[in-house]
Structure 1
Amino acid sequence: MTSSTITNTLTLKFRTKSEGYKKYSMRAPLNDGEWHKIIFVLNGNEIQVVENCHQLFKQTDYEIDLSPEKHVRVHIGEDYSGNHRFPGKLREFTADNDNSIHLKCSNLEVIMDNPVQTDTETSTRRIERDGSEEHVFPQDPQVGRRLADHNQNDEVNRLEERISFLEDQFRHWKTVVNNFDNRIKKVELHQRGCQLNGRIVSFGEKQQNLLNCSECQCSSTGELHCGPIGCPPLKCAHPVKIHNECCPKCGEQCYYSGRYYENGEEFWPKQCVRCFCHNGKMDCQFRNFQHCPQITCQPQEIPPNQCCPVCTNIDYCADGRKSCDANAICTNEQYGPKCTCKQGFFGNGTICYDIDECQWDQNARDQLGGCQTGTMCINLPGSFKCDCLPGFQKLDDKNCLDIIRI
């Protein structure tokens, strides 16, 4: 094997079984002043040449004459006679047996457009394996014709193998190009966004209407999702609606008779005395039983410390009676209905607000099962969904996989 930085070529020359010589010359960028790792692989009749993990040449050649030897002698930086020496620099040389090329180049790149020139020459002398020369007498015409026919058949076989290799490579790269084309079309489709009120909303973008506290978000599939503005959940039992704001806040607690009461909490400390915590101020009033509304139901009962009787054993959750929010669950209790916001909502049950799960931090997403890698979170009333970003493929309901890296 010889290299030339003048012509940027690597040349591989070997003896053939017909006592001639064969050369393969291939292009390689050798004149850049950098170190180049050249790997030459000989596996039976298969030859492979790699430069800096770029495959320059791979060919099966049945003319190569390398019969097994117990002792192999390698000339490094010179030819077998020692007359021609390598003028460049050689930093490292290793010889391995049965060592896969992929162990040295995990990401082997095949160069498709690298031309390889093949030359065949005959010789009247034969180079023995010990470096000595032996004269070869010219063969008779019949032997020459048989040899020419043999060489021609070998050349046809090589061309057929090369065509088969190119066809396989063409099919492979055609599939790769088609896959990338489909992905690009998918990304372009997603990037078109959604239409909202005559304008284009890009995917992932939110459009909020603070007048009616609604929002619309364009998903990566081009679907427009509209609903009430989601809010971060609050831990207080009675959130306070703030004027000109869509999301509530927790009111201040009240301190009364040695303990704290939540904002919005109602209790009856003594007979006919009703107390109500209103944003840090406790409002207690005496109720006169003479002002109680008249009820005709039976049976009736006065709750503890209250003044007015209420109906018992009736369906407080029946239509027209319940005071619960549409996103709350009504439960009949002894003295009235109990309203509890459904999962995905928060509030006191009379008013329920949608939880925006897309505002969870990473810890909350890990603990509560939020959207993870390669996704875009879409908030829905009482729930959420995870759409895959362009270039990602759905793995499960919460994760998407980067298909370009597959």
Structure 2
Amino acid sequence: MEGVRSMKYGLTAIFAGIFLSGCASTFLKVENPDVLRPDKEFERAVVIEVPEAEPGTEEALIATAPPAAEEKPAAPAKTVKGAKKTVPAKAAAEKTPAKASKKAVAPARREPDLEDDKGFQGRRPLKDPFWIGETVVHDVSYFKVSAGSLTMRVDPFAQVNGKKAYNLVTHIKTYDTFSKLVYGVDDKVVALLDFEQLIPRVFTMTVKESNQAREVRSFFDFEKNEANFWEKKITKKNGVEEKKMKWEILPYSQNVFSAAFYMRLFAWEDGKEYAFRVADDGENLVFKGKTLRREVLNTDLGPIKAVVVKPEIILKGNFKPIGDILIWLSDDDRKHILRIESKIKIGTLVSEIVELKPGKAP
């Protein structure tokens, strides 16, 4: 499944299985859904609170927190440490003399040095591109045949171990005809990104496809600079499988799903290269992207000014091939993903915007 890894870094990770995993006519039936229940280690490490879902919305994926909200004060010491790291820093700054306070407010540079700091004050963007209720829908086509839809949403804020987090949702679903004739996919990922530090705390993934069903949970513990990954999977070929991983990560690393949103924070000026860290599958990588050009993209919504970005991945200082991929971002403060084009071994995969709801400004 070489295609899966390459597509992952083209911000179309969830598409890969659609086209490269073979043919089937229906979704895999899971006789006992309990075998895919989230790992208890994850539930012990992470307390997630989300707003009550409005009628008709999809919130089941991240409803993995213990049911009793009042248990939150009794969370493990790890949770309390997580709160201490960011909150007292602000309080301490307020208690220091004015001169010291000025130095604290105006650091020499935004961390980490790898990342561009234009448009930021510390870790926070001067203009927040993530508006609650924002919904971007793409039509995904293969060999110019519509195969499915990609939806990227910003849902109401969540709390992860007591900290405010962006609730970023990605959902890929094949159309009925494609599911019956070729391959069926109904995959959903939620990335919970810390509001203040813009680092991923959690991602959860539910995979429902023709040849597999899968539940994935990941927790980035930046107190220990450690990534934790749990996966439970059922396939036609191998039955029930389970995978656990833990590895050391670098500060401010994104995961592959938060990266699609995180890249929208940068200015993407002409000819300038942008970079940030990504941790995935036991590896520490660097995402790099460069603006190739600015152009007007003709879409179903009409012409939209766009920035065309060419991404690449660096592993241990060396370029890691990910295929021929281009990403179109809206040329404004929001940097919506308008189009993704990826040439794979057989044909070209194209995902392009067909619907946009801007959401409510913060």
TM-score for the superposition, normalised by structure 2: 0.16
Q: Which has the higher contact order (CA 8 A, sep 6+)?
A: 2
Higher helix residue share:
2
TM-score for the superposition, normalised by structure 1: 0.15
Higher strand residue share:
2
Which of these two proteins has the greater Rg computed from alpha carbons?
1
